[in-house]
């Protein structure tokens, strides 16, 4: 059973589109969400002169969420993580928002933030929700096992804080709880099998229902020929996935999340379709039939 969490969100500028300071009960960490426009106004905040980790967030030219993860220690001139973020304003690559993670007691040194930068970067890559702009893997540093345990706890809290602020960059498509559900209750997993009239291939795919929607799983077969009747957004997504080799040799090479079963099925089949009927559990019961039983 998961216990509830008490988050405190402080609207520094009195508006939801401004700066947000986030704290969590029994956590010494501190998070700031700062729009680009407000960075200069944040210079006098003392906790942003500390060491910390930052995320530069925006969408790329393809409309995909993108993140750059960096870190900074307190410098001899007294400047810290915010000063490093301000230096990025000169970069050619634009970003619209920043999330800064630091502590309420200024307890991070160079070793700690190097470890956090490395772990956050690798978690973002593994999760696959955002395009990660870091060119090289950051140095993980050398921490004791006691310090590693402490920092991993900081990371777990940070994942929740980022999620509350609206960024699921560190949240996997399938949480540990949902993976357990899939293992123990097979009906959480659904299958699609249909002979394609376009390619004459038997298209077989699988997906998992989560609290966010429907995750089509890696290695699912994908009909590569588009029908004339296909949602435009799905057609564009399929085209992009082919260009990025996320659809390769008729198979999906990564997990993809959809907010409805019909969009998930349309992506697989390349056509407009009713996903509530297409997706079936291992006993052949359709998603629609299962939902009727659950209601």
Q: Express each pLDDT in 137-165 by its tens digit.
A: 777 878 899 999 999 999 999 999 999 99
Enumerate residues 6+ apart whose C-beta is below 8 A from 135: none
Give the residue from 91, 173, 100 showing the smallest Cα distance to 130.
Answer: 173
How many other β-carbons are positioned within 10 Å of the β-carbon of residue 268?
29
Does residue 295 sit in helix, strand or coil?
Answer: coil
Where do the domains of the chain lie? 7-165, 180-294
Tell me what pLDDT residue 151 has: 95
Beta bridge partners of 99: 33, 55
Tell me what pLDDT residue 26 has: 84
Tell me what pLDDT residue 62 has: 73
Ranges of residues in the chain whose predicted pLDDT is under 50: 178, 180-187
Tell me what pLDDT residue 63 has: 77
- Largest Cα separation within the chain, whole Å, is 69
Enumerate residues 6+ apart whose C-beta is below 8 A from 205: 191, 192, 193, 216, 217, 220, 221, 222, 252, 268
- 215 exposure class (CB count in 10 Å sphere: 0-12, 13-18, 19+): buried
Give the DSSP H or E segment for 206: strand 202-209
Q: What pTM was estimated for this model as a whole?
A: 0.73
Tell me what pLDDT residue 175 has: 58
Q: What angle do CA 200, 229, 232 make, to 5 degrees?
A: 120
Give me the sign of the Cα torsion angle 163, 134, 119, 30: negative
Tell me what pLDDT residue 177 has: 52
Tell me what pLDDT residue 46 has: 93
Residue pointed to by tokens 């630091």: 102
List the beta strands (DSSP E) in 51-138: 52-59, 65-72, 97-103, 131-132
Query: Half-sphere exposure of residue 176, counting CA atoms within 13 Å on the CB side?
Result: 3
Give me the sign of the Cα torsion angle 257, 261, 266, 272: negative
Tell me what pLDDT residue 176 has: 52
């Amino acid at each position: 059973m998961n216990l509830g969490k008490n988050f405190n969100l402080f609207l520094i500028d009195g508006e939801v589109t401004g700066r947000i300071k986030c704290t969590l009960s029994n956590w010494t960490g501190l998070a700031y969400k700062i729009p680009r426009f407000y960075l200069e106004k944040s210079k006098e905040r003392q906790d942003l002169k500390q060491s910390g980790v930052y995320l530069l967030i925006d969408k790329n030219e393809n409309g995909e969420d993108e993140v750059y993860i960096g870190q900074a220690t307190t410098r001899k001139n007294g400047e810290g993580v915010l000063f490093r973020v301000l230096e990025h304003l000169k970069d050619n690559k634009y970003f619209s928002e920043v999330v800064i993670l630091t502590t309420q007691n200024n307890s991070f040194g160079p070793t700690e933030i190097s470890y956090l930068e490395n772990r956050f970067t690798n978690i973002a890559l593994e999760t696959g929700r955002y395009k990660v702009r870091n060119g090289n893997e950051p140095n993980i540093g050398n921490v004791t096992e006691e310090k590693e345990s402490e920092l991993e706890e900081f990371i777990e809290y940070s994942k929740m804080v980022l999620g509350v602020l609206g960024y699921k960059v560190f949240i996997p498509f399938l949480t540990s709880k949902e993976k357990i559900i899939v293992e123990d209750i097979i009906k959480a997993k659904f299958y699609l099998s249909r002979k394609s009239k376009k390619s004459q291939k038997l298209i077989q795919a699988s997906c998992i229902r989560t609290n966010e929607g429907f995750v089509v799983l890696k290695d699912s077969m994908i009909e590569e020929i588009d029908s004339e009747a296909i949602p435009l957004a799905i057609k564009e997504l399929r085209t992009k996935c082919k260009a990025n080799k996320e659809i390769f040799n008729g198979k999906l090479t990564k997990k993809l999340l959809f907010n409805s079963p019909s969009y998930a099925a349309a992506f697989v089949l390349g056509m407009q379709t009713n996903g509530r009927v297409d997706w079936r559990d291992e006993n052949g019961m359709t998603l629609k039939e299962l939902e009727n039983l659950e209601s």
